[in-house]
Chains A and B, each alone.
Chain A
Amino acid sequence: MTVTETRPGTAGSQPAPNPGQRLISLPAKIAKSPHLARVLFPIALFAVWELSLIAVEEVWPFAVDVLPTPSEVGGFMWDEFITDTLARKNLYETFFISLRRLLSGFAIAMVLGTALGLAMGLSRATNAFCHDWTMAILAMPALAWALFNSIIFGFDDRGPILTVILAGIPFVIVNVREGVRNTPRELFDMARSFQVPQSKVIRHVLVPSLMPFMFAAARYCFSIGWKGLVIAEVFGGQDGAGWTIKFWYDAHRAHGVVGYAAFFVIFAILFERLVFEPISRRAFRWRPQLQTEVVEEAFGEHHEHYGEEETARHG
């Protein structure tokens, strides 16, 4: 009697019996790959867009003057891309101005919000004092801040920056406070029993345990701040991304509005991919299951769970 061993790992790596079979399986492989599905999405989008325009035109012929076609929007975006624009400032100048405001507001919101969140997490009294205010700021739509600030500050940088701060800061406060409340007590106890010096405990236990919360705070603050900034620039700006989309709106260029909106999305995605993702991957190397998850995470949505999951692991 013979014993046949089947090793599960080797099945896929067996040499293909003939090249023809491989050729047949190649299209199947492509069809199943997630890349194709991704590419398919914009193609489907453009098809639906084009077809619906044709359909609308059947019913209401004048619509063509108002509704932009994909090629118009594409052409507009290309012109902007090569800085051939009717607006006062080109694409890069515009986004640079907005980015500067966004980062100023973001930095201030992070610093102030972290300080307040720490204080609220550590002291019940501070929490009781600030809690309702934080909730009130959280409940206020960015549009309201944008209007107030443009009334108060007129058309300079302060209004948009303050809007970014006010839109973003509640998320920083709430996340950092939760982080402080969820610091892993049993790890501090462990460090104490081994008589590890305080400074080392802060560096290696406190700070890393706050990291996921800080990171969630940063992502939220950035994306909410960005949305707030655009609105603030519409009302209280003389330049910047928000002002420019309004410029195209005033000029009755629908393709400009759509094209600029697409730039907003591209900007946000680029920032997520080039800044937050690499930092997160480095900072959370110790959580292997997260690496794939973060890549798929949408800009600014449901990051709050980030922290909760973390504390659940510590029990």
Chain B
Amino acid sequence: MAEIRIKNLHKEFGVGEDKVVALEDVNLDITGHSFVSIVGPSGCGKSTLLNILTGIETPTSGTVAITSDGHVAAPGYVFQAARLLPWRTVTDNLMFVQEDRSEDTRKRCQRYLEMVQLGDKGTKFPGELSGGMQQRVGIARAFSIEPDVLFMDEPFSHLDAITARALRRELHHMWDETKKMVVFVTHDVGEAVELSNRILVFAKGGRLEDDIQIDLPFPRDPADDEVAVAKAHVLRKFEELDLLAS
């Protein structure tokens, strides 16, 4: 089981007049089979938090630890932009992040490409795909290493509604079956309520404002009363924060 422990996390960029506080005194534990969504206005430090958790950025102060059964957890990261190697084919992009090049690994990559409906695009270069297809390759890449923790930064925001819904379902299945942890950033409160059992609301300036548990059974239908109530609750939080900010 994976565990994320964040203590007194503080992150700022730049110095002097250019100083930007991206995260301020965040304390947070995420354990076990959680699906945690992070919501909040643009610039509130959501991507920065994921970057710190995946080791791309280092904290200004405070500590983060991600472990899985006592050892360092392997993260999979779906970025806000696809971040593919333009000079490698789709399959090679997946192979790039694998530990070995065995036939099993290759088959696994192909399986995840099929999951995002790109099974026949393995030999294409990213430049030959649409933006939404590239984003799906990014999703397949993160899934293909079968990570202990899956970090996703607005993975479905560039996709059409139908593809996004299908992939949301896949994501939920994968989470349900593998019992892995997912940390999911989104602007879409409805999406957060549909998928997560916990929603973290961040405010401008990188403060963690609210931590909402959602204990409704899956699958969740947006038309369902309880789901609608939960969504309204989170939205109300959002509006309160907006009022505070202005």
Contact = CB atoms under 8 A, between A and B. Distances in A.
A186 interface: yes
Interface residues of B, number: 23
Interface in A186-242: 186-187, 189-196, 200, 204-205, 208, 211
**Chain B contact surface mostly:** loop
Interface of A: 186-187, 189-196, 200, 204-205, 208, 211, 285-288, 313-315
A193 B127 contact: no
A196 B83 contact: no
Interface string B120-152: 000001111000000000000100010000000
A208 B77 contact: no
Interface of B: 51, 54-56, 74-77, 79, 81, 83, 85-88, 96-97, 125-128, 141, 145
A204 B85 CA distance: 8
Nearest to A201: B96
A269 B97 CA distance: 42
Contacts of A286: 86-88, 125-127
Nearest to B51: A189
Contacts of A186: 79, 81, 83
A192 B52 CA distance: 12
A313 B86 CA distance: 9
A286 B125 CA distance: 6
A51 to B, nearest CB: 49
B56 A204 contact: no
A205 B93 CA distance: 11
A190 B79 contact: yes
B96 A204 contact: yes
Contacts of A287: 86, 125, 127
B85 A193 contact: no
Contacts of B141: 194
B55 A193 contact: yes
- Closest 5 A/B residue pairs (Cβ): A194-B97, A193-B54, A286-B125, A190-B83, A208-B87
Interface centre among A190, A285, A314, by most B CB within 10 Å?
A190
22 contacts: A186-B83, A187-B85, A189-B56, A189-B83, A190-B77, A190-B79, A190-B83, A191-B96, A193-B54, A193-B55, A194-B75, A194-B141, A195-B55, A196-B96, A211-B87, A286-B86, A286-B88, A286-B126, A287-B125, A288-B127, A313-B86, A314-B86
Contacts of B55: 192-193, 195
Contacts of B54: 193
Given A194-B97, A286-B125, A288-B125, 13 more contacts: A189-B56, A190-B77, A190-B83, A193-B54, A193-B55, A194-B96, A194-B141, A200-B96, A204-B88, A211-B87, A286-B86, A287-B127, A288-B127
A292 B51 CA distance: 39
A195 B125 CA distance: 23
B85 A208 contact: yes
A187 B84 CA distance: 7
B182 to A, nearest CB: 16
Contacts of A196: 96-97
A195 B85 contact: no
Contact of B56 (A192, A208, A313): A192
Contacts of B81: 186, 315
A193 B147 CA distance: 11
B130 to A, nearest CB: 14
